[in-house]
Amino acid sequence: MATGGGGDDAGEKRVTDRYLKREVLGEGTYGVVFKAIDTKTGETVAIKRIRLGKYKEGVNFTALREIKLLKELKDPNIIELIDAFPYKGNLHLVFEFMETDLEAVIRDRNIVLSPADIKSYIQMMLKGLAFCHKKWVLHRDMKPNNLLIGAEGQLKLGDFGLARIFGSPERNFTHQVFARWYRAPELLFGTKQYGSAVDVWAAGCIFAELLLRRPFLQGSSDIDQLGKIFAAFGTPKSSQWPDMVCLPDYVEYQFVSAPPLRSLFPMASDDALDLLSRMFYI
């Protein structure tokens, strides 16, 4: 993977000789994602073009981190990074092409999601996440549109731009990660030390969203998000979570008891409710 030192010439050769650009798939603050054909293999790929900006080394460090992690994370349920190269002031990341994402599937009311479909998606999501955690990687941006779906229905974790290595000794991280609706209560209370449980909480929110066909906990602010969490699962007691009152952004909430989980997910199986209760552990 060329990322500097004459890499732009090599990048130009890749773009002109190997990859045939097709339509734009999406745009964001980082740059553009477009569809392309890899003439070497005949496969369709997705190319993320990231603006390098004014970095002295010519490379976006977030993108470099994503490249480094994805080189280590080779798993059937994690998006494959095929190639990476600089070209005309941009960094190009070439990924296997995926047809859609889980958010689009959930929102499409023409798609019927059977219990077997939901179980399959959850299994693939958790297998990919378990592999990340086995490699001491936190994803930190689990949400439906970062779970990519292939033509055969396979689900893969994507977008590792916020991912970080974790482990011992504990490191301090920012708590401003994940989209709010998928953020664990300890993050909302401002903790800077956390582990794999924050990914599991977000995965639980995604599981709930698959069951409900809508986002489960839709807070309008961090305070409101915590209120919705405690309304669903009960306000934790100090005996249950002793360190809660010591967290930087701790706010006391009125105590409420948790309603039966069955009342929140009336159509879920007993096994699904059992798994949800473990993922939403406070």
Active site (catalytic) residues: 141
Can you read off the two tokens belonging to residue 235?
């306000």
Phi/psi for 33 (5° steps) reads -115, 130
Q: Which helix (H) or strand (E) holds 230?
A: helix 222-233
At 231, which amino acid appears?
Answer: A
Residue 196 neighbours by CB under 8 Å, 6+ apart? 133, 138, 166
- Pick the closest to residue 198 from 216, 173, 233, 228 (CA basis): 173
**Cβ atoms < 10 Å from Cβ of 74:** 11
- Pick the closest to residue 235 from 243, 225, 227 (CA basis): 227
Binding-site members for ATP are 25-33, 48
What's the sign of the alpha-carbon dihedral 41, 78, 32, 58? Answer: negative
CA separation for the pair 230, 235 (Å, rounded): 5
